[in-house]
Structure 1
Amino acid sequence: MKKIVPVNSKKELGAFIDFPHDLYKNDPNYVPELFIAQRDLLTIHPFHKHNSLQAFLAYDGDKIVGRIAAILNNSHNEHNHSNDGFWGFFDCINDQETADLLFQTAAKWLKEKGITKKFVGPVNFSTNEACGLLIKGFDSPPVLMMTYNYPYYIDLIENANFEKQIDLIAWHWDGDGYDDKSVRLLTALQERLKRNNIVIRKVDLKNFKSEVAKVRQVYNSAWDQNSGFVPFTDEEFDYLAKDLKLILDEDFVYVAEQNDKIVGFGLALPNYNEIFQKIKRGRLLPTGIFKLLLNRKKIKSIRIYALGVIDGYRKMGIEACLYGSIIREYKRKGLQHAEAGWTLENNVLINEAIIAIKGDPYKTYRIYEKDI
């Protein structure tokens, strides 16, 4: 007999984090999340100071067969003038009854918290974190901080009466299969920007705290009109920046600055999933840490994680300079694969810019919704 159990203990939390490792043990494209990172995300992340989450496990007898988290994101509802509830961290065997029980339990918890509008997911907090169900592009592993799931999840979710809210697109380039026009024109574009006192430079890691504060303002401004956007609190952005600093390659972090004011930034990250895929059950100890340290210089791909320019500075060539600077370093380092993702399907400006440099829309992720 199937039952749903709320996650309230350390042991249950460990089982919640570990369940996907068993579910995907025979899938060659699965990449385990680091246990310590998932534990901290679910327990001590600043998100929990002004929002709430309840994780649930589905059992069939003594065996775990599914998981889900019900997420009350007050920040989203305040910013978007809504009253929506969210679900994330969803994993399930190919069984509709189990999936339905998980969705019903999460929805019930949210209703008890006063949610009356939409039930939205998958989002692992908000669109600032991992989100979206993979619906196209199952033939390769996910890159860093992107989601992955079995194809049958589409049926489990749609059979539970969820409908598409919006699609997210991930783009890629293999080897030198990109248009390097932005690299060839980089010097000329930068000279043109200098006439407006705008310079493109690498981030200053020695003044990281100050740089982060300026970039946070750009992020919250440049992404503000995106569907479902939730602005970072100062503490949330600092938490993310602290984590990213551990894996940054300063050759892939650029800002556009005018008179000491950052007006845009571009950030690409080494694809550490190449290493995480080899770390059993996401455990850094006892041997995972050595795989991480010994293989970090062997990474052959990057993810263009974020690239944005604030309103009033767009279409001046800043975006092309940021892309060009990242592509130039990608080329110089002889890397083999790059992904830009994700972008909203309705973000015509950025999507046309990516198509212009021969970006291939090779993966699609979907966020679903239904009335709660």
Structure 2
Amino acid sequence: MNRIVAVESSKELARFIDFPHELYRDDPNYVPELFIAQQDMLSPHKHPFYEHGSVRLFLAYSNERIVGRIAAIHNQNHIDFTGNKDGFFGFFDCINDPAIAKALLQQATEWVKEKGNTNIIGPVNLSTNDTCGLLVEGFDRPPIAMMSYNAPYYAELIVGAGFKKKTDLLAYELETKEANERTLKLLDTLEARLKRNGITIRKVNLKKFAEEVPKIREVYNSAWDKNLGFVPMTPKEFDYLAKDLKLILDPNFCLVAEKDNKLIAFALGIPDINQVLIKIKRGRLLPTGIFKLLFQKKNITRLRVLTLGVVEGYRKMGIEACLYGNIIKNTYGTKITGGECSWMLEDNYLMNHAIEQINGKLYKRYRLYEKEL
């Protein structure tokens, strides 16, 4: 007998977080999320998202066995900023059973509809500032840091429940040894031209990180304001993310562009912590996971450029190329041999072209789905 149950207790929340570990137990490409991080993210009293949003978690049972999970998400900031009454679903995992998947998605749909939403989009965990998109191409390798992973059959389950494609999110692979040498050789010329216009590139100052964060947030929120589904991060949300990222931040891969002491662009590359997390059983740091995390960080060989944005009015000046070029150049002499630029909207032709110009190759594709209510 199948049934859908709302998560009400801490014990049920732990089951919700742990379900993917059981589902992907035999999948060598599955990377477990850190339990403590997921617990904080899904706890209203711990994560700043809940100051403007609400989430309802559901588990699917077949008899007494958990066979699926989903989160229904209402984001008031998204509605206020975009004017669209979109609800979201996220944290979707399910066995390959169309009836169970349909029941889960229907439950999420009904919940966001009760909140007054007229459309539902997903998967999104919790917003587009977090992990989102369903993997539809590129199942042969583990995901890189802060990117999603799922079995190939998920797409059929979601479409079978009445959802259609909204847009694709692209991930490009780039090997540093294959990066376009001409682009790197042009760095000095490009930077000299920018300098003549009063624009300089520098590393983020970790010693003054608290001063840097508000300036970076301002660039982040203005540089992406026209992207699909983007909602500006609140100061508390950005501080929450920055605090987590600082633990793995390397200033060589966290760069800003300035003009007249004002930040006009920002690029962030983070080490692929998934190379360590994949070895931490069930995402538990204790008793041994913490040691793997601490001691294996230095052996990471991949980097993810997870955000690069330029404030409007300063685009097409070569700033994007300089930021990418400097990140690539700064990998020389380190253990980093390549990485991923992600995610990029499929219709963001300017940025996609910039990555292709330095020999980036499209190797993974993620999809957002939607359904009118």
Which TM-score band (shorter chain)?
over 0.9
Deviation at 1:182, TM superposition (A): 2.9
Q: Which residue of 2 aligns with 1:74?
A: 76
Q: Which residue of 1 aligns with 2:366?
A: 365
Deviation at 1:93, TM superposition (A): 0.2
Q: Which residue of 2 aligns with 1:106?
A: 108
What are the within-5 Å matches in structure 2 for residues 16-27 of structure 1? 16-27=16-27
CA distance in 2: counterparts of 1:177 and 1:26, whole angstroms: 34
Deviation at 1:332, TM superposition (A): 2.9
CA distance in 2: counterparts of 1:175 and 1:213, whole angstroms: 31
Q: Secondary structure at the match of 1:331?
A: coil
Q: Which residue of 2 aligns with 1:151?
A: 152
Aligned residue type for 1:249: D
Q: Are 2:310 and 2:319, in contact at CA under 8 Å, matched by a contact in 1? A: yes
Which of 47, 56, 59 pairs up with 2:58? Answer: 56
What TM-score results when the alignment is normalised by the length of structure 2? 0.98
Q: Are 2:17 and 2:39, in contact at CA under 8 Å, matched by a contact in 1? A: yes
Aligned residue type for 2:201: I
Q: Percent identity?
A: 57
Q: Which residue of 2 aligns with 1:323?
A: 324
Which segment drifts farther, 93-102 or 331-340?
331-340
Aligned residue type for 2:215: K
Aligned residue type for 1:279: I
Q: Which residue of 2 aligns with 1:270?
A: 271
Q: Are 1:180 and 1:324, in contact at CA under 8 Å, matched by a contact in 2? A: no
CA distance in 1: counterparts of 2:71 and 2:22, whole angstroms: 18
Deviation at 1:337, TM superposition (A): 2.6
Q: Which residue of 2 aligns with 1:87?
A: 89
CA distance in 2: counterparts of 1:180 and 1:25, whole angstroms: 42
Deviation at 1:336, TM superposition (A): 2.4
Q: Which residue of 1 aligns with 2:4?
A: 4
Q: Are 1:182 and 1:323, in contact at CA under 8 Å, matched by a contact in 2? A: no
Q: Which residue of 2 aligns with 1:214?
A: 215
Deviation at 1:90, TM superposition (A): 0.2
2:29 paired with 1:29: yes
What are the within-5 Å matches in structure 2 for residues 335-354 of structure 1? 335-354=336-355
Unpaired segments ≥5 residues, structure 2:
none
Deviation at 1:266, TM superposition (A): 0.9
What are the within-5 Å matches in structure 2 for residues 250-329 of structure 1? 250-329=251-330
Q: Which residue of 1 aligns with 2:169?
A: 168
Q: Which residue of 2 aligns with 1:42?
A: 42
Q: Which deviations, in whole Å up to 9, do the C-alpha atoms of 1:285-330 show, x marking residues without a partner?
A: 0000000111010000000011110001111111111001100012
Q: Which residue of 2 aligns with 1:136?
A: 137
CA distance in 1: counterparts of 2:353 and 2:190, whole angstroms: 19
Deviation at 1:253, TM superposition (A): 0.6
Aligned residue type for 1:15: R
Q: Which deviations, in whole Å up to 9, do the C-alpha atoms of 1:36-58 show, x marking residues without a partner?
A: 00000111210011110000000
Aligned residue type for 2:50: H
Q: Secondary structure at the match of 2:257?
A: strand
Judged with a 3 Å threshold, the aligned counterparts in structure 2 of structure 1 residues 58 and 241 are, in CA distance, closer, same or farther, namely same
CA distance in 2: counterparts of 1:220 and 1:226, whole angstroms: 11
Deviation at 1:175, TM superposition (A): 4.9
What TM-score results when the alignment is normalised by the length of structure 1? 0.98
Q: Are 2:119 and 2:372, in contact at CA under 8 Å, matched by a contact in 1? A: yes
Q: Secondary structure at the match of 2:329?
A: helix
Aligned residue type for 1:107: T
Count, aligned residues: 371
Deviation at 1:181, TM superposition (A): 2.6
Q: Which deviations, in whole Å up to 9, do the C-alpha atoms of 1:11-63 show, x marking residues without a partner?
A: 00000000000000000000000000000011121001111000000000110
Aligned residue type for 1:123: V
Unpaired segments ≥5 residues, structure 1:
none
